[in-house]
Chain A
C-alpha cells in the first residue's frame, strides 16, 4: 500500500515508559504550555534550556533520536526557505549590515530573526511529535474530549467535534486505500500520471478525486445510518467505557512542568533586548 505508507499522522510508538503512562490530559496540557512558551522565547539561552528539557523527555520516553528527527526531513526545504526569507527581509533602521548582494541585504537582525523562527518551528514540531509518538490516537481523543467538555456550557459541541475527529482518523486510511484503487484503475486504463507538464498533470487529477469524493459522501451516508441504528443521537447522554484516572505520576509531571515553565518565564522576561 504505497499511499498509506506515507501517512504519518498520529504515528504511535507503543511503550510502557513514564511518559507513555501519563494521563493524556496531562500530556496535552503540557504540550500546550510548551508551545505557548515557545511563542515568547527570544533568546538563545532560553532555547538551550528548552533543548535540554525536550531532549530529557525524549530520553525518558525511550524514543530513538533518529525517529524523532526523521519526521523533520520533508520540512527541511520549507525551514531553509523561511530562514533565507527572514535573513534578507527582516531589518530595522539600526540593523548592522552583514553582507549585501544585488538587491538583497542581510543584516544581523535578519539573521537573528531567521534563527529564532527556524528554531521555533523545529521545537513546535518536536513537541507535537513527542505527544503523538507517546499517546495513542484513542487516548488523545479521550483526553481532548475530557478537556473540552467544560466548553459545552458556552455552546461548543465538544463531544461531537471529538467524534468527528475519531471518525476522520478511522476513514483516513480507508480513503487512502480507495484513492490507491482509483489511481490503479485509471493507470490500468492507460493514464500516465507522471507524464506531461504541470497543467496536463493537474488535469489528470480531477478524474481521480471526483470518484473519491463521491465515494466518500456515499460512505458518509451509510455511516450516518449505521450510527443512528446504534442509538447515536449526539453527545448528550453519552457515557464512555474508558474513564481517565490521573495518578501520582501526573502530579509529578505537573510539578516538573510548573518548575520548568517558571524557569522559562524568568528567562523570557530577563532576556536583554538585543536592539
Chain B
C-alpha cells in the first residue's frame, strides 16, 4: 500500500525573496506508513515544526513535493481534503481551545466540516469517551489542568476523524503527570483506533515508544530508523544536540564501569531485566 504521507525532496524557505531568508527545510525525503507511529526529534530550529506544518497544509513547499494520501499539498484545492485527513495538536493548549465549554470546543472541528448536528453530537461523544473526558464535558477549559486541556485539544482533533494526527510537542507545557497521561492517550489512540501518528518531541523517553524515529538537524533528516537503531549508533545523537533515553544513559554509564551491556537498550524494563539476569 502507498504511504499515507510522502515528502519528496521537500524544501521550505521562510521570508523567501526578502533578503532575510531562512532555509528551514533542505531537501527532506520521508515516508510515513499507514498506522505507524513516527517520532520526529531534533533540537530547536532543526525544522521539525516546519516539516510537520506541511503535512496539514498550513505551509506549502517552496521546492519539492508533499503528498498526503496521494494529494499534493501544493495545490490549494486539496487543502480542505488534506485537513480532514491530517489533524494537528499544538504545544500550548490554551492557544488552541476556542470555546468556553469543553464539548463545544470539541465540536468546533466537525462544525467546520459542515456535518449534521446529530453526527457532530455522536463524534463529540465518541471523542470524549476515547479520552475519558466524559465528566468534563460541560466544564470551562480554564478550570482544567494543563494536561486535561491538552486532552481536550486532542479530542477536538479526534472528533474530525482524521487518518493521521501530528502532535507538535504536545507535552512541552505539561508537568510529568500530565505528560504521562497525554503520551498514554497518544499511544492508545494509535493502537486502538489505528490513527497514524507523528509525534514531534524533545523527550527521548517519548520517542522510544514509537515504531520509528527520525532525527532532524538544520533542515535535513540526519538519522532514521527504529529507536533501537538510532540510539545504537554511538554518540551521533549527542552531536545533534539531543540526548539518550534514561535507560540508554544508564547502560552507557555501566559500560564505562566495565560492565558488559548490550548496545540496544533503550527501555527501562529492558535494562531492569538485563541487570536481574546478571545477578
The majority secondary structure among interface residues of chain A is helix
Do A243 and B117 touch (CB < 8 A)? yes
Taking the closest CB of chain B, its distance from the CB of A23, in whole angstroms, is 16
Q: Residue of A at shortest CB range from B92?
A: A222
Do A241 and B90 touch (CB < 8 A)? no
Do B96 and A239 touch (CB < 8 A)? no
B100 proximal to A (CB < 8 A): yes
Partner among B88, B104, B142, B160 whose Cβ is within 8 Å of the Cβ of A241: B104
Partner among A173, A225, A231, A237 whose Cβ is within 8 Å of the Cβ of B142: A173
For chain B, which range describes its interface: under 10, 10 to 19, 20 to 34, or 35 or more residues?
A: 35 or more
Do A229 and B100 touch (CB < 8 A)? no
Partner among A167, A174, A225, A230 whose Cβ is within 8 Å of the Cβ of B109: A230
Residues of A contacting B84 with CB < 8 Å? 231
Q: Given A229-B58, A230-B87, A241-B124, do A170 and B113 touch, yes or no (CB 8 Å)?
A: no
Do A170 and B112 touch (CB < 8 A)? no
Do B111 and A241 touch (CB < 8 A)? yes
B129 proximal to A (CB < 8 A): no
The majority secondary structure among interface residues of chain B is helix
| A1-B1 Cα distance, complex, nearest whole Å | 55
Partner among A137, A225, A237 whose Cβ is within 8 Å of the Cβ of B90: A225
Partner among B58, B96, B112, B156 whose Cβ is within 8 Å of the Cβ of A233: B112
Partner among B98, B104, B113 whose Cβ is within 8 Å of the Cβ of A231: B113
Taking the closest CB of chain B, its distance from the CB of A249, in whole angstroms, is 21
| CB under 8 Å from chain B, chain A span 124-149 | 137-138
| A100-B141 Cα distance, complex, nearest whole Å | 58
A223 proximal to B (CB < 8 A): yes
Residues of B contacting A195 with CB < 8 Å? none
A80 proximal to B (CB < 8 A): no
Partner among B80, B96, B98, B124 whose Cβ is within 8 Å of the Cβ of A166: B98
Most buried by B among A138, A229, A242: A229
Taking the closest CB of chain B, its distance from the CB of A237, in whole angstroms, is 5
B38 proximal to A (CB < 8 A): no
24 A-B contact pairs sorted by A residue (CB < 8 Å): A166-B98, A170-B100, A170-B141, A174-B94, A177-B142, A219-B94, A222-B95, A223-B95, A225-B58, A225-B90, A227-B108, A228-B58, A229-B56, A230-B83, A230-B156, A231-B83, A238-B111, A239-B114, A239-B115, A240-B107, A240-B111, A241-B107, A241-B110, A243-B117
By a beta-carbon cutoff of 8 Å, the part of chain B in contact with chain A is 56, 58, 80, 83-84, 87-88, 90, 92, 94-101, 103-104, 107-117, 120-121, 124, 141-142, 156-157, 160
By Cβ-Cβ distance, the 6 closest A-B pairs, closest first, are A226-B96, A241-B107, A222-B95, A229-B88, A241-B120, A231-B112
By a beta-carbon cutoff of 8 Å, the part of chain A in contact with chain B is 137-138, 166-167, 169-170, 173-174, 177, 219, 222-223, 225-233, 237-243
